[in-house]
Structure 1
Amino acid sequence: MDRMPSRLRRHLAALRALLVLTVITGVIYPLVATGVAQALLNDRADGSLIEKDGEIVGSALIGQSFTDAGGGPIRKYFQSRPSAAGDGYDPTATAASNLGPEDVIDTPDRTSLLTQVCARSKAVGELEGVSGARPYCTPDGVGAVLKVFPDRAVSVNQACPAAPFVPEYQGLKVECAEPGRDYAAGRTVPVRGGAGRPAVPADAVTASGSGLDPHISIAYAELQAPRVARERGLARDRVEAMIEEHTTGRALGFMGEPVVSVLALNLALDRG
Structure 2
Amino acid sequence: MIKNINVKGLIAIVVSATMLFAVLNANAADPKAMHPERNNYKSAGIFGKWDIPSLQRGFQVYQEVCAACHSLDLIAFRSLSDIGYNEDEIKAIAIEYEYETIDGDGEETFRPGIPADYFPAPFANEAAARAANNGALPPDFSTLVKAREHLGFFSSTYGEDYIVALMKGYEEEVPASAPLGFELPEGAYYNHYIEGNAIAMAAPLYDDMVEYADGTPATIHQMAYDVATFMAWASDPTMQERKQMGLKVMLFMFFFVILLYFTNKRVWAKVKKGEDIDPSKI
Provide the TM-score with structure 1 as the length reference: 0.29
Provide the TM-score with structure 2 as the length reference: 0.28
Between the two structures, name the one with larger relative contact order (CA 8 Å, sep ≥ 6).
2
When you count helix as a share of all residues, which structure comes out higher? 2
